[in-house]
Structure 1
Amino acid sequence: MPNIANRPHFQKLQYAFAAHIRDAHNPAPTGIEPRRMAIYRKLFYNNVQSLLASTYPVLHQILPTEQWHKLIRDYFAQHQATTPLFPQLPQEFLHYLENECEIQPEDPPFLYELAHYEWVELALFIDNREIELTGIDSQGDLLRGCPVLSPLAWSFVYQFPVHKVGPNYQPQEPPVEPTYLLIYRSKDDKVGFIQLNRVSAYLLQALRDTSHTGQQILTEIATLLNHPYPQKVIQGGLEILQEWLRRDIVLGVRRI
């Protein structure tokens, strides 16, 4: 809390009110009936808790009720949010988990990664960018042309298979291989995800890093994999590109 010693009286009351709302251990402002303060505390907390439960439904479902509320109350009391915008509070919660939350023995080891995965869906949904097709031929040849990746196709590497976590699957140790996920928003504003394999992960990274043709990219991947039948890699990669085109992950090829 900032130094409020020299603030006007009404601002001191506001700070005291807010501090007590966030954490009932802080003294309430004088002159306000305790019953009313209890109502305010409950209303504020329930609004924030409800928002986070809807943004992180799997996390909310798998944590025992007491553990969930303990986590949210600590966030509510300790985290200094940098935005007053309600849709951005879930990202504030993610910052809290990453930088401020003290991990407890009962917390699942995938807690942050699961929260991040669930947050990405909201972040993509509210991203105000639209898919722009200027300079792109959506019917172009994906091998001869230079495929264009949608800006609303994001990829992440997780140590845990967070897309599988639920009440019946809660791994306590990460698998040997990390999980590569491609999460995207289509033209009709639907958010989806695809788990990537070795070839598709290489392909996605190449689309981000180069402006080569699909043929050049897939030939390079076949060489990198030292595959005995490069044409099979190229054909398989073309099928991936075609599927991504149907899902609005690839928008087409760059017009020359």
Structure 2
Amino acid sequence: MNSVAEQQFALTRHLRDPEQIPAPTGVEMRRLKVYQELVFNNIEGFLSSGFPIMHSLLNEAEWLALVRAFVREYRAQSPYFLEIGQEFYQFVSQAEHLALPEFTLELMHYEWVELALDVAPDQLPPAVDGVVAEATRLQRSPLAWPLAYRFPVHRIGPDYQPTAAPEAPSLFVVHRDRQQQVRFMALNSMSYALLLRFDEVEQWTLADLAAAFAAQMPEPPSPQFVEQLRVTLQHFVDQDILLICV
């Protein structure tokens, strides 16, 4: 390793853990302090804005200690600054020594997914006006993610921190629409199961979906059930969650 590389390595090791790793020789302490603050404050600022609820659940000393542990211990797999949130989530998920509430990982994922969808490179095709009919082919938007959590993550905050998960999961679809807005929609078990069908088969028609659900029912679906299914599909189309295929 040449001297420049050695100096860079020594500097980065120190910046990760300035309390334990000695400062490299030949660097003015005033300048070194600037580097220390820039590295830590940029990462901490990004994480506090990306995980505001999690941040609010910890006191300032606990939060700063957690961020400091992330900077010191974790070796990120992505060089992109916008993916620091995902790397932070991975760090917390692997750090068994952290004494955090059981709901922490689900809450972090719920907060992270908003940024992930906001910066996702996928783009929706031009809108197709139309009413969902029996033979209309539909597919799920690549920017619509059905999510299920054991804990009611949308309610967690300083005034509500559950110690046990309720019997029923919290179901959502998080999606980015054509106005480039990321939106969260609560789902019931039926609409969640409906969206998961598009993981099995890319395109469905109303008739095919009705037949698929009928195969799981003790009796043939009623006309009212099929109409409610159509209304749900139309609502998803109107919200850019499902797309009409052309």
Report if TM-score (shorter chain) is over 0.5: yes
Structure 2 unaligned spans of 5+: none
Which consecutive segments of 4 or more residues in structure 1 shift more than 4 A? Answer: none
- Count of residue correspondences: 244
Per the TM alignment, residue 87 of structure 1 is displaced from its structure 2 partner at its CA by: 1.0
Alpha-carbon distance in structure 1 between the residues aligned to 2:98 and 2:78: 27
Spell out, residue by residue over 1:148-187, the C-alpha distance to the aligned partner (whole angstroms, 9 max, x if none): 2111111122111212212222111111122222110001
Pick aligned residue for 2:79 from 70, 81, 84: 84
Whether 1:11 aligns to 2:5 is yes
The within-5 A match list for 1:100-111 is 101-105=95-99, 107-111=100-104
Whether 1:50 aligns to 2:45 is yes
Cα gap change, 1:125 to 1:142, in 2 (>3 Å): farther
Cα gap change, 1:84 to 1:228, in 2 (>3 Å): closer
Per the TM alignment, residue 226 of structure 1 is displaced from its structure 2 partner at its CA by: 3.9
In the other structure, the counterpart of 1:118 is 111
Amino acid at match of 2:135: R
In the other structure, the counterpart of 1:3 is none
Pick aligned residue for 2:137 from 134, 146, 149: 146
Per the TM alignment, residue 222 of structure 1 is displaced from its structure 2 partner at its CA by: 4.6
Amino acid at match of 2:173: L
Alpha-carbon distance in structure 1 between the residues aligned to 2:186 and 2:166: 15
Cα gap change, 1:197 to 1:31, in 2 (>3 Å): same
- On the 8 A contact 1:184/1:193 being kept in 2, the answer is yes
- On the 8 A contact 1:149/1:251 being kept in 2, the answer is yes
- With normalisation by structure 1, the TM-score equals 0.87
Amino acid at match of 1:92: E
- On the 8 A contact 2:92/2:98 being kept in 1, the answer is no
In the other structure, the counterpart of 2:121 is 128
Whether 1:163 aligns to 2:151 is no
- On the 8 A contact 1:79/1:96 being kept in 2, the answer is yes
In the other structure, the counterpart of 1:245 is 237
Per the TM alignment, residue 225 of structure 1 is displaced from its structure 2 partner at its CA by: 4.3
Q: What is the root-mean-square deviation of aligned Cα atoms in Å?
A: 2.0
Partner of 2:139: helix, strand, or coil? strand
Structure 1 unaligned spans of 5+: 1-6
- On the 8 A contact 2:210/2:221 being kept in 1, the answer is no
Alpha-carbon distance in structure 1 between the residues aligned to 2:159 and 2:24: 46
Pick aligned residue for 2:223 from 219, 231, 234: 231
In the other structure, the counterpart of 2:166 is 175
Amino acid at match of 1:72: V
In the other structure, the counterpart of 2:15 is 21
In the other structure, the counterpart of 1:4 is none
Partner of 2:86: helix, strand, or coil? helix
Cα gap change, 1:163 to 1:103, in 2 (>3 Å): farther
In the other structure, the counterpart of 1:201 is 192
Alpha-carbon distance in structure 2 between the residues aligned to 1:103 and 1:215: 51
- On the 8 A contact 1:146/1:212 being kept in 2, the answer is yes
Moved more, 176-185 or 219-228: 219-228
Cα gap change, 1:103 to 1:219, in 2 (>3 Å): farther
Q: Percent identity, aligned pairs only?
A: 32
Alpha-carbon distance in structure 2 between the residues aligned to 1:123 and 1:89: 11
Amino acid at match of 2:236: W
Cα gap change, 1:227 to 1:121, in 2 (>3 Å): farther
Moved more, 225-234 or 156-165: 225-234
Cα gap change, 1:165 to 1:143, in 2 (>3 Å): farther
Cα gap change, 1:230 to 1:222, in 2 (>3 Å): farther
